[in-house]
Amino acid sequence: MALTATDCVLLSDDERSTIEDYEGGVPRWCTGCGDNAILTSLQRLCRDEQLPQEKVVFVSGIGCSGRFPHYMNTYGFHGLHGRALPVAEGIKIRRPDLHVFVNTGDGDCCSIGTAHWIHALRYNMDMTVVMHDNRTYGLTKHQASPTSPLGLKSNTTPYGADLNPLDPLSVTLGVTNASFVAQAVDWIPELLHQIVSLAFHHKGFSFIRVLQRCPEYLPAFFDPWVQDPARVLLLSHQDGIQPAPSLSRTYRNQEEHDPLDLLRAKDIAAGADAIPVGILYRNPEIPRYEELRKPDRLYTPDAIAKGFEAELDRFTIWPEQEEKEHAAT
């Protein structure tokens, strides 16, 4: 690794942030909520990577996941429903030095925010996106979301949901320029943390769907998978997750999956039985929008003022004489 003197100074710095340094307000999620596992994992990531708090921004939309920025002691933006991604893109393109995280939910991302989701994938800007998928609208007390299973009874589907659920993994894998697609479950925190870490280090748009339990409105929904490890398929690979031996004793259903194998990733995503956990797809070669649009010059205040003046001059109505002089100059 090529180090500058600056790197040497920083590496010899003995100031270390602890996990408490990244803790914001006390979470107001329900006790037992899977969101807590995601929060802990991201706080651990910030601590492990020693990210300066002022260099981190969490952006969210609306829903239980929307409260995420309140619980991080970093910059945050609690935005409009479904609009977390365009806000995050705006931040990234103007401040590429910031580490941008997005927390969105199954309703926020897959319903009202779907258009932004699809195009954010295509833009492939460098950010880590965690979709909290509890398969219901929890904040508004249980309405069917796009990922609610067929037949789910809720306040909006009292006779059971009529439609098959949307599969966020298959959708994501089908979008042009998708560069990192992973799935985690809140009840295996070790792998959730590995996946979050891999996503953070991926240069591009890292999309993680986290299946999380809602103890309030779907308390037993994930029990068949939580209680039967054989119904979870771990996708291990040297370029993906590597379960510890102690975890492998419990989760024996594993597959060696190369994250560059898109076709197999699509097959795995479409599989109906076991829940896949791991990196389905990762391709670091896909260009990033913020790199493609990187300005080739520095926008100093003078340069901005000059450009601004020049633009306004195009619309200025010059008095006849002045116009001649202006044209002459």
Which residues of this chain interact with another protein, rule CB under 8 A? 2-10, 13, 15, 18-19, 27, 31-34, 36-37, 39-40, 43-44, 52, 54-55, 186-190, 213, 215, 226-227, 244-249, 252-255, 298, 300
Name the nearest CA neighbour of 121 among 139, 134, 108, 109. 109
Give the 3-state secondary structure of residue 318: coil
| CB of 206 closer than 8 Å to CB of 129 | yes
- Minimum Å gap between C-beta 188 and another protein is 7
Q: Which DSSP symbol is given to 71?
A: G
Judged by beta carbon, residue 172 or residue 212, the one nearer another protein is: 212
Judged by beta carbon, residue 187 or residue 217, the one nearer another protein is: 187
C-alpha distances in angstroms, 58 versus 46, 65, 123, 288? Answer: 12, 11, 19, 20
- Minimum Å gap between C-beta 231 and another protein is 15
Judged by beta carbon, residue 167 or residue 261, the one nearer another protein is: 261
- Provide the residue type at 119 as one letter: H
- Minimum Å gap between C-beta 65 and another protein is 16
Burial category of 139 from C-beta neighbours within 10 Å (exposed 0-12, middle 13-18, buried 19 and up): middle
Judged by beta carbon, residue 85 or residue 98, the one nearer another protein is: 98
- Minimum Å gap between C-beta 241 and another protein is 14
- Minimum Å gap between C-beta 116 and another protein is 29
Helix intervals (H) in the chain: 5-11, 35-49, 84-94, 106-107, 114-123, 168-173, 189-201, 223-227, 245-250, 262-270, 289-292, 301-313, 320-328
Judged by beta carbon, residue 55 or residue 293, the one nearer another protein is: 55
- Minimum Å gap between C-beta 117 and another protein is 26
Judged by beta carbon, residue 300 or residue 321, the one nearer another protein is: 300
Length of the chain, please?
Answer: 329
